[in-house]
Amino acid sequence: MTKHGESAGGPGPTVFVLFGATGDLARRLVLPAFYRLAREGLLPGQWLLVGNGRGDMAHEDFRARVRGALAEFGPEPEPREWDAFAERVFFAGSGFSADSPGSLLDVLGKSRGALGGDPQLVHYLAVPPAAFAGLTKALGQHELARGARVVYEKPFGTSGDDFRELDRVVHSVLDEQQVYRIDHFLGKEATQDLHVLRFANESFAAFWNREHVESVQIDVPETLDVTDRAQFYDATGAVLDMLVTHLFQVAAEVAMEPPASLGSLDLQAAREEVISCFRPLDPAEVVLGQFDGYRDVPGVSPRSSQNTFVAARLWIDSDRWRGVPFYLRTGKRMAATAQRVSLVLREPPGPLSGQLPRDANLLSLSLAGDGEIDLSLVAKKPGPALDLDVAHAAIPLGALSGADPLPAYVRLIHDVLLGDRSLFTRPDGLAAVWEVAEPLLSRPPQVSSYVPGSWGPPQARELIEPGRWLLGQ
């Protein structure tokens, strides 16, 4: 089960504890990512995986659930590979709280004994945000926090006040260097390639500012429904699930100043510094929507006013970006699925001013899959007349020689195992994010309906006028 191979300085013996191990997030993303790490040879030489949940379950039954998750979401294991993996997988039931540890302490005691010495503990909280504080306190109460690394799923809090209380609880138990607040958009290959695109290519670095960029679009429409996670989604919505987490973080990746290095401290500092320049959202510059039929989804309140769509105009008051609108859009049950960052360049002055075709001078990056860089340039059509057209060039990153891309969750869990916090969020940046979102959360605009399979409420088109959304318009 080796592809990448393990370096001599790789992680030591590790016990990976997955809270919420029988939930949807673990099934769809975390367990497949962990198996992929094993398959690629990126786990420590000695490791064990312990799932935790409220119910009781035999180890063999949990292993069957893991096998089922891999059959549905991949990668499909070969029998011999699966046997070697499954024998290291265990389950500790009856929940875990400060008052009652369930069977987790017993299972961990046996696991530590099997590995010998003092293995690294990695706790992954694949649970709703409301459970973060209780589990964190329980880790401290039962002496499972010392030296451990703890991964928190997003959103880290559901409001500014909630964030501050959660941050207080977390730091009463853990040092900041033990905390890994995951945002899988930061682990995407194309998101990371933004750094190289900007900082290693003068042709791009030269126009990465307000003098040359007219606007920026960060567009993440989804055709997906919310059926598999309706209860979570109805308590969260598109604003908390996507806007104040993924889209704000991607905006920071685009807008940051060049860091001193791409090391974890410098990269995090540059990202958090530019987030402090985000102007608080004006609710008048935000469109919220809910797709028709959302209230009929099992698990959703029949009177729910939760948003399943959000489009927002964000302003970044830094010297580099002052006056340049960042348009952010995401939603469920939309016409297409995409994850795209686009820089719309200004029309250059000169003899062709006012004559350029539509959608010329555009740099676009697809964040989906292995990522792709797309350029739209004005060119003359070969022939006797001066006929202008838009030429397109695409660079699929996965096609580069020797490319060996990892999915975002695989990359980020591997970074946790290595102790690399470069692609994880910091509390100062999150505090600024909640300040940016506060006007929207306290005075949200009315939620408008939209037809499933469309591009959202018509007000979203009006938000971006006289420009237009590059996807779907």
DSSP state at residue 227: G
Residue type (1 letter), 69: A
Q: Which two tokens stand for residue 382?
A: 């070969």
How many residues are present in the chain?
473
Reduced to 3 states (helix: H, G, I; strand: E, B; else coil), residue 213 is: strand
- Is residue 215 within 8 A of residue 344, CB to CB? The reply is yes
Look at the block and give the residue holding tokens 């459970």. Answer: 131
Indicate the SS3 state at residue 20. coil
> 272-300 in b/e burial notation, b at 16+ Cβ within 10 A?
bbbbbbbeebebebbbbbbbeebeebeeb
Neighbours of 202 (CB within 10 A): 7
246 carries an active-site annotation: yes
CB 96 within 8 A of CB 50: no
User: Which entry of 4, 59, 171, 246 is annotated as an active-site residue?
Assistant: 246
Beta bridge partners of residue 50, listed in sequence order: 17, 90
User: What gap in Å lies between CA 199 and CA 261, rounded to an integer?
Assistant: 10
- Residues marked active site are found at 246
